[in-house]
Amino acid sequence: MQNPILTVSHITKRFTGTTALDNVSLELYPQEILAVMGENGAGKSTLMKILSGIYPYGSYDGEIKIQDTLCRFKSPAYSEAAGIAMIYQELNLELDLTVAENILLGRYPKTKMGLINWEQVYQDAGAALERLQVKIDVHAPVRSLSPSMQQLVSIARALYCNPKILILDEPTSVLTEKETETLMQILHGLQKQNIACIYISHKLDEVFKLCDRMVILRDGKWISEYSKSQGYQSTRIIEDMIGRRLDVMYPKTKKKIGEEIMRIEHFCVQHPFAYGKHIIEDVSFSVRKGEILGLAGLVGAGRSELVSAIYGLTDSIGGTLYFDGKKITHPTPERSIRMGMGFLSEDRKKNGFVWTMDIEQNMTLAILKEISQGGFINQSREDKISDEYFDRLRIKAPDKKTLITSLSGGNQQKVIIAKWLMTKLKLLILDEPTRGIDVGTKAEIYKLINDLAAQGIAVIMISSELPELIAMCDRFIVLGKGVVQAELSKKDADEVSIMRAASCT
């Protein structure tokens, strides 16, 4: 049997009031792709930050060895020098620099005169991309690339350092199914180049396809280990991750679909990056009370831009919106909230919450007028309503005065949902509501969505995970090339029919 390339022994990491990692040990073998699985808050990211040097030696207990050499990383530079490269879930690229400048950032080759050797920069960047067998213009600004291309630039930058170990944290969260398949092929190719990978993902299906072995963490502790050769059992793995039996992933609720609550006619939306171009050309559809309407389409089809325009975050340049029987001109977020429309955006960190506020303050943002008197917040009223929703949504935090930035992604999402539940909600728009969220919390959010529909609240749901969309929704609108390519009932919808319509074939 091969000796491990990486050995993590008895790692314990404490923060004030909590133990993030408790005596965790694992091994990574040469040319292996190892999945580290667990719910948000299980300790995965903390362990990776230790391996990448973000949490330096001395801030944790335990040992790290690379090929039997004891490593004590004082910073990310020490980890990189030892052969570890990490690609974070939040891509840290300089969008206004070129592809080549990003790949070699901080490591530009110099001429004898001490100037940057630009010819060598572009040559080296091209060689790094060639290792991935992809063709990207090294002179192109990164801002002009799709999320999947940006992900490949991040991997090329990591490979430029010739790492022995590559750590990928949720690398497919912004990728389509086809782009995910391409990434998997690339990672299998890196295996043949003697690179071992640690892979973090909440998507069990891609882990089953890609990874040779998995280690499961829960509440900062090592729980179990499974290998592909023995066969993965999804039910057992999920129960190990969440610490309880999961009876059903997509709970069903009895509900009655009522009358129309919202309708758009001939909506047209400006492309966010291409001046003079429309990402939505002419789209019309309606949604009814108690209905969960799925908005499907490929990345770039304009789903997010359309719902942003409906809510009033961005301007539509044509079309008509009817809400609760009334024609609405020039929708704005403030007006949408008053009407009873809520919006959970795709990028919760950018548009979903206020970083500097705690859980309670973020929960009550949309009802400040209702809980205020004479220009001052009535603290007892705020406490009462925030207590109710903190308990009802089972938000995992020491208390509601905890900063929202300290929560896991799933619990941040629960806080945002609570914010809209506090309003007189009639329609909730959900854009990728479970992106980057663990399996257990996904099941809780699915139940919340079904409960809302059972109460007569209409839901528009966008998801790039087709099994999720198909399981949750009553009807489907498929966008492509700026128009509605298909409208499908639940009995007529499957992955093939939706993808065929989305691909405009």
Q: What is the mean pLDDT of residues 11-15?
A: 92
Strands 165-169, 84-87: pairing is parallel
Model pLDDT for residues 346-370, shown as the tens digit of each residue: 877 777 888 899 999 999 998 998 8
- In order of their start, the domains of the chain are 6-242 (3.40.50.300), 255-340+426-435+460-505 (3.40.50.300)
Q: What distance in Å separates the CA atoms of residue 133 and residue 324, rounded to the nearest whole number?
A: 53
Helix, strand, coil fractions of the chain, as percent rounded to 5: 35, 25, 40
Q: For 189-203, 268-282, 456-470, which range has the lowest pLDDT when averaged over its residues?
A: 268-282
Please identify which residue in the block is written with the tokens 């050309």: 281
pLDDT at 337 (0 to 100): 92
Q: What is the DSSP secondary structure assignment for residue 110, as one 8-state letter?
A: B
Residue of higher predicted confidence among 186 and 282: 282
Sorting pLDDT into bands at 50, 70 and 90, what band is 1? low
Q: CA dist 95 to 14, 123, 144, 153, Å?
A: 35, 20, 8, 11
Buried-state track 336-371, b at ≥16 Cβ within 10 A, e below 16: bbebbbbbbbbebeeebbeeebbbbbbbbebbeeeb
Residue of higher predicted confidence among 21 and 352: 21
Side-chain-side CA neighbours of residue 7 (13 Å): 11
pLDDT at 505 (0 to 100): 55
Tell me: pLDDT of 174 over 80. Answer: no
pLDDT at 247 (0 to 100): 62
Tell me: pLDDT of 62 over 90. Answer: yes
Q: Which of 264, 247, 307 is nearest to 428 (CA)?
A: 307
Tell me: pLDDT of 301 over 90. Answer: no
Sorting pLDDT into bands at 50, 70 and 90, what band is 293? very high
